[in-house]
Amino acid sequence: MAGCVCALLMIFGNGGEAFAGLWRLGFVASFCTKLSDTASSEIGKAYGKTAYLVTNFQVVPRGTEGAVSVEGTVAGFFASILLSAIAFYLGEVDIPQAVVCVIASQIANFAESYIGAVLQDKEGFQWLNNDAVNVINISTGTILAVLMQEVLLQSLNQ
Residue 154 in this model has a pLDDT that exceeds 70:
no
Distances, alpha carbon 140 to alpha carbons 52, 101, 119, 134, 156, in Å: 23, 11, 16, 10, 23
Neighbouring-strand partners of residue 117: none
For residue 156, what pLDDT band results from cuts at 50, 70 and 90? low
For residue 22, what pLDDT band results from cuts at 50, 70 and 90? confident
Residue 46 · residue 26 · CB < 8 Å: no
pLDDT 10s digits, 48-82: 999 999 999 999 999 888 999 999 999 999 999 99
Distances, alpha carbon 83 to alpha carbons 22, 29, 132, 152, in Å: 17, 9, 24, 22
Q: Quote the CA–CA distance of 55 and 25 in Å, as a whole number.
A: 30
For residue 158, what pLDDT band results from cuts at 50, 70 and 90? low
3-state secondary structure of 54: coil
Residue 13 in this model has a pLDDT that exceeds 60:
no
Amino acid in position 21: G
Mean pLDDT of 128-134: 84
Classify the phi-psi angles of 89: left when phi > 0, otherwise alpha if psi is within -120 to 50, otherwise beta: alpha
Residue 23 in this model has a pLDDT that exceeds 90:
no
Average pLDDT, whole number, for the chain? Answer: 87
pTM as predicted: 0.86
Select from 62, 44, 34, 51 the least CA-distant residue to 131.
Answer: 34
Q: Quote the CA–CA distance of 156 and 123 in Å, as a whole number.
A: 45
Pairing of strands 51-53, 59-60: antiparallel
Query: CA torsion sign, 107 to 109 to 113 to 116?
Result: positive
